[in-house]
Structure 1
């Protein structure tokens, strides 16, 4: 009987001795805060409205599709900041990096005045799928702030294969997918410039 109790005690102590799994945090845009661009009379401002995200992307954990209709939100692999904030910073950095006649401003930042044009972005999916791809699906609208009129709409659906294992590589591929979305938005903004609809 003593051996049984000793064995149980050793098992209990062994269970207490193991450390819980460590948490790992990831940055979508690891290049620092988006640069505030100086106001330039030659560049028309476009307000970036707060991003629309599905509930599963408002979680702290990275998301993986584990079955056709089932998602898993990681409890160990987490975003270092809210995904909405990270996506906004990435879009600002990418779109403002071009040589166009517009500048994208984050309307969610304090002190940002509303611009004559607005950009509304809805992220439908941003996840690792069952086939080891990063899936990004998004829609966006370019709006005239004064007339509440839609000037352009766009949609992006990209699938980028993962060449390596690990969440770090998956996050880097997610950033590439966001850059694809940014280029599509830049292209739509440039059509406004050439069509004379504004900008």
Structure 2
């Protein structure tokens, strides 16, 4: 009896995932004109007064695996296959959206730190480098995000670095639900960076 119940659960799970996958695939193939999506920014970037004596952190442009920045939203259809949607696309570069959202969150939440966009002048400044390997929908019914961030000191020495990984279940079918889950996951990752960077920058030697 227990084996029979386990088989039923597997069949039900497979059928459920199949329906969700068909919904996403249908969106990719039946629309006549592309739908454009933007990430839901959790914070708004604002001008802040420079804090004399506080460390300055430059936010380098977020880099992504090449398949993620092709314009179309990506979802994984099987263990070894990903699909880039042609008709459901990012309204602007994914790398740029990730960078803008990360900068806005850190600018708002990092107390006692001057947060600035990346520039050619790194003299006396810390630098945050972030790379995203996964930012996609998954056949398990969730959004998957993974990557790594690195904190580089004013003299080019790596001071800290952590891998990150986040899985956020989708609240519904289709690309709007996927983008919503990806947005929430990225905001959670940015908030996690705040905690680690606060501690590290507080103890880091000044140039």
Q: Which runs of 5+ in 1 are unaligned?
A: 1-18
RMSD of equivalent CA atoms? 2.3
Q: 1:100 maps to what in 2?
A: 111
> Are residues 1:157 and 2:165 paired?
yes
Q: Give 1:198 deviation, angstroms.
A: 4.6
Q: 1:35 maps to what in 2?
A: 46
Q: 2:129 maps to what in 1?
A: 120
| SS of the residue 1:97 aligns to | helix
> Are residues 1:132 and 2:141 paired?
yes
| SS of the residue 1:93 aligns to | helix
Q: Which has the larger radius of gyration?
A: 1
Distance in 2 (alpha carbons) for counterparts of 1:181 and 1:197: 26
The structure where helix makes up a greater share of residues is 2
Q: Within 5 Å, give how 1:159-198 maps onto structure 2.
A: 159-198=167-206
Asked if structure 2 preserves the Cα contact closer than 8 Å seen for 1:65 and 1:71, the reply is yes
Q: Within 5 Å, give how 1:24-103 maps onto structure 2.
A: 24-29=35-40, 34-103=45-114
Number of aligned pairs? Answer: 177
Q: Which runs of 5+ in 2 are unaligned?
A: 1-29
Q: TM (normalized to structure 1)?
A: 0.80
Distance in 2 (alpha carbons) for counterparts of 1:32 and 1:151: 27
Per mean C-alpha deviation after superposition, the further-off stretch among 35-44 and 45-54 is 35-44
Asked if structure 1 preserves the Cα contact closer than 8 Å seen for 2:128 and 2:151, the reply is yes
Q: Mark the CA change 1:21 to 1:134 in structure 2 (over 3 Å): closer, same or farther.
A: same
Q: Mark the CA change 1:167 to 1:82 in structure 2 (over 3 Å): closer, same or farther.
A: same
Q: TM (normalized to structure 2)?
A: 0.77
